[in-house]
Amino acid sequence: MDLTYSEEEEDFRARLREWLAATLPTLPPRPDPLDWPGRRAYDTAWQRRLYDAGYAGLHWPADAGGRGATPTQHLIFLEETELAGAPYVGANFVGLLHAGPTIAAEGTREQRARWLPPILRGDEVWCQGFSEPDAGSDLASLRTRAVRDGDTYIVTGSKIWTSHAEVADWCELLVRTEAVSATVPKHRGITWLAMPMNAPGVTVRPLRTLTGTAEFAEMFLDEVRVPVTNRVGDENGGWRVTMVTLSFERGTAFVGEVVACRRTLRALAAAARGNGRWDDQEVRRTLGRLNAEFTALWRLTQWNVSEAQGAGSEGSVPGNGGSVFKLRYSHARQELYDAAARVLGPGSLDLSHDWTLDRLSSLSYTIAAGTSQIQQNIVAERILGLPKGR
């Protein structure tokens, strides 16, 4: 397996670096982290710049409006934009990394034509309506109900941790269209819908996190009417479509953050040398181990990308290797900020410090996109071939 870059790929990297160097100084100041409407405007404007420059949806297939780039070129894009300090996808996260790729893989021609171009241009923002108060890690236990009424579904229920619901135009929504019974296991009877957030009966209540932002929300659905044409995949076949969505969420969605963690680790080592903590043998050992961890995670990412590229068309949907990556990355990120607390001492409690906010944010990573326990089950059953637990 070749983990090096070809001449063509290095040429792509050089042209991207040149564009970033010319473009980033022209961006306006970043908005207040608490101002989500402002952040939406900033993030969608950046997405439009990427679109106009030909860098939007690099890894999406050409027939879905993307550029048909190889997985390796997408990896280079993520690496270089993070190293340059370019804006992250932000409010466009769900559309670009979850809903969009899912629709590209599973949607009809009409659905792809309707939803994919606005996502790529930054015209429309999506949120994710998966988790419920009683169905978080056990997603198959969801209770939000959709009853078929002619050409529409009438949806009633509630969702929680709905990412970017406050500023979203659309929601990738999981609903139950067939009740669980002795003959219908809970993984069946689930359907994947695209729901307009301005539909009557949708109520959004933002949830404030430890960092003070409100990128999540509760969402209440009171007889919301969703056209049947907004269903992606078959009725009662939404669990399979959901696995496609989650494979993207656990695949390359965190790659840029690995680059950011490696940069933070270098800065942390420099801070330790400056404040005398470097003389502590245990601190040096911890930072050295973390350097090995993040180097290994980056190599794992390259391996996953190389495997996907070798799989040809089948590589358009990430495999189970994403669960291995997500499981270890979630814990390594938390360990990084534990080490930062040891290096910075009382300064690590300063809420004006980026590292402090990142540390608070990192607490969610062993829960978001499937808890670590769920990832361990996936690795055990689907990769190691161990028997399923009862």
- 327 near 376, Cβ under 8 Å? yes
> SS3 for 309?
helix
Nearest-CA neighbor of 370 among 223, 280, 242, 207? 242
Separation between Cα atoms, residue 385 and residue 65, nearest integer Å: 37
Separation between Cα atoms, residue 110 and residue 298, nearest integer Å: 37
Structure tokens of 49? 């710049």
Separation between Cα atoms, residue 82 and residue 192, nearest integer Å: 32
- 97 near 77, Cβ under 8 Å? no
Structure tokens of 79? 């690496």
Separation between Cα atoms, residue 179 and residue 303, nearest integer Å: 41
DSSP for 31-87 reads PPTT-HHHHHHHHHHHHHHHHHHT-TTTTS-GGGTS----HHHHHHHHHHHHHTT--
- Please list the residues that pair with 146 across neighbouring strands: 155
Place of tokens 């606005």: 118
> SS3 for 76?
helix
- 206 near 166, Cβ under 8 Å? yes
Nearest-CA neighbor of 76 among 165, 172, 1, 9? 9
Q: b/e per residue, 262-293, with b = 16+ CB within 10 A?
A: bebbeebbebbeeeebbeeeebeebbeebeeb
Nearest-CA neighbor of 169 among 100, 223, 248, 249? 100
Separation between Cα atoms, residue 369 and residue 375, nearest integer Å: 9
Is 249 tagged catalytic?
Answer: yes
Number of other CB atoms surrounding residue 198 within 10 Å: 9
Write down the catalytic residue from 249, 257, 293, 335: 249
Active site residues: 249
